[in-house]
Amino acid sequence: MDNYWELTKQLPNKENHEMVNEFLLSLKLSKHSENTVLSYRRYLLNFFGEIEDTYSSLSSERILEWYQTNKGHLKESSFKQHLSVVSSFFNFCVKESQIERSPIKKRWFPRPPKAVPKYLDKGEIAKIRQESERTSLRDQALIEFMLTSGCRIGEVNSLNIENIDLENRTARVVGKGKKIRHVHFSDKCAILLGRYLESRQTKETSPIFVKFESETRLGISGIHRIMKKIGENAGLSGSLHAHRLRHTFATELLAKGAELAFISDELGHVDLSTTQIYARLPNHVIISQYRKFRG
Catalytic residue among 176, 203, 225, 280: 176
Please say whether the dihedral angle defined by the alpha carbons of residues 145, 147, 151 and 154, taken in this order, is positive or negative: positive
Respond yes or no: is residue 176 known to be catalytic.
yes
Surface-to-core class of residue 73, CB atoms within 10 Å of its CB (0-12 exposed, 13-18 middle, 19+ buried): exposed
Respond yes or no: is residue 122 known to be catalytic.
no
**CA–CA distance, 264 with 68 (Å, rounded to integer):** 39
Catalytic residue among 127, 152, 244, 247: 152
Catalytic residue among 105, 134, 225, 243: 243
Alpha-carbon distance values, 239 to 2, 25, 85, 154 (Å): 52, 46, 37, 18
- Cβ atoms 27, 6 nearer than 8 A: no
Catalytic residue among 17, 127, 138, 246: 246
Helices (H), 161-212: 187-198
Respond yes or no: is residue 243 known to be catalytic.
yes
Residues whose CB falls within 8 Å of the CB of residue 38, separated by 6 or more in sequence, listed in order:
4
Respond yes or no: is residue 225 known to be catalytic.
no
- Cβ atoms 111, 96 nearer than 8 A: no
Respond yes or no: is residue 152 known to be catalytic.
yes
Closest CA to 16 of 80, 71, 87, 93: 93
Residue type at 142 in one-letter notation: L
**Residues taking part in catalysis:** 152, 176, 243, 246, 269, 278
